[in-house]
Amino acid sequence: MPDAASGRVSVSLTSRCNLDCGYCFARQDGEASRRTALAAAAYARRAFGPRVALIPFGGEPLLRWDLFRDFVLEGRRLGVERFDVFTNGLLLDDRVVDFFEEHRLNLIVSIDGVGQVHDAERRALGGGGTFAALERRLRFLRDRGFPNPTFRVTVSPGNGASLDSTYAFLAGLGFPRAHINAMPAASRRWSERDLRATRSSLLRLADAAAQRLKRGLYVPFHYNECIEGGELSTALGADVGEGGGSCLWGARVRGVDARGGVYPCCILPVMASDQKELFGRRSLEDRGEPEWPEAGGLSLARSCRVWNKLLGADALRPLPVYRHFFAGFIQAAARFQSRLDPPRAGQWRRRAMELLTRHLGPAQRLS
């Protein structure tokens, strides 16, 4: 993963996509003009300096290839050092990868499982699965020598129980510096059975990850890249109440929609108008420092304030799925360390219980 950025600004280039994912929250919100996109790059540079992470967003941003290219080139001209590009991976070819390599763009590919598990959520526009096509693109990327993709897994009730299989597949592709990110789909209806199955899968993932580390083949597993929520091998060593794992909406995170509206979160620009307007709109022309209520960082069990507010009415109260996933991730981190260092297993379990108690209330039982 790249070093922490000074801020993160997503810019919606298009709401069009070549997939029809079941949990997608993006709505048709028009297409960004070249003028708006370049003005958004300048806004991000002005707001956060050269270490800002610029995020060309969609939809599928690579569908607007000419605008995507111009957006990146303008950002580089302005001195922006980092670009995070989220894509479904199906448009990766030599032209695209050449451009990524030339301009040192961070490639983040969405994948939600192996085979039918992936296909159940990430369907083609005309129907049918997309896993086989994506697997071919990933092997093409590996064979080209691209070293460091990040894989983003949106965890849902349909794939939570197989997170360990997804990790095994991605780790086994053989990219030398790959990373894997996971974030729960808060908009889905989760049963207690779904949550238990996901937590059990996280424990199996921890066992497999520890074995890979012993063989020198470890692939880092992160929770919630949006807020730099933690990595499996280091999660127990950080105080997630201070800095790491904080939702920094408005303060260090913003998003720009296709019309030039500025919002306090990266995902808001592509949401429906009645949803994003709940959070307050600013403009690219604003010269002062924009202020949003409750801007800044709280741990919030590594949750998303937008979904907390939309689904639970209180931005500062984590939804149950975030609490459960956070607990599962911390438990998995304790299992991982215990497999590597059995004599200190009790110490790692106590540390996990301390974190769970601090951020969730009375600690939940550790498996």
Q: Which fold has domain 8-246+319-360?
A: TIM Barrel (3.20.20)
| Closest residue by Cα to residue 257 from 224, 279, 229, 230 | 279
Task: Tell me what pLDDT residue 367 has.
Answer: 47
What pLDDT sits at residue 238?
Answer: 54
For residue 80, give both structure tokens.
Answer: 């922006």
Cβ atoms within 10 Å, residue 157: 19
Residue 317 pLDDT: 84
Give the per-residue pLDDT at 243.
41
Going from N- to C-terminal start, the domains of the chain cover 8-246+319-360
Residue 314: per-residue pLDDT: 85
- ∠ CA 198-154-25, rounded to 5°: 130
DSSP 49-107: -TT-EEEEESS-GGGGHHHHHHHHHHHHHTT--EEEEEE-STT--HHHHHHHHHHTPEE
Cis peptide before 245 (omega within 30 of 0): no
pLDDT of 25 reads: 81
CB-based burial label for 128 (10 Å; 0-12, 13-18, 19+): exposed
DSSP secondary structure letter of residue 165: H
Q: What is the pLDDT at residue 28?
A: 66
Contacts of 288 (CB under 8 A, 6+ apart): none
pLDDT, one tens digit for every residue, the chain (367 residues): 556 678 899 999 998 999 988 888 877 678 999 999 999 999 999 999 999 999 999 999 999 999 999 999 999 999 999 999 999 999 999 999 999 999 999 999 999 999 999 999 999 988 899 999 999 999 999 999 999 999 999 999 999 999 999 999 999 999 999 999 999 999 899 999 999 999 999 999 999 999 999 999 999 999 876 766 689 999 887 554 444 456 778 778 899 999 999 999 999 998 888 888 888 889 888 766 666 765 555 555 678 888 888 998 888 888 999 999 999 999 999 999 999 999 999 999 999 999 888 877 765 555 4
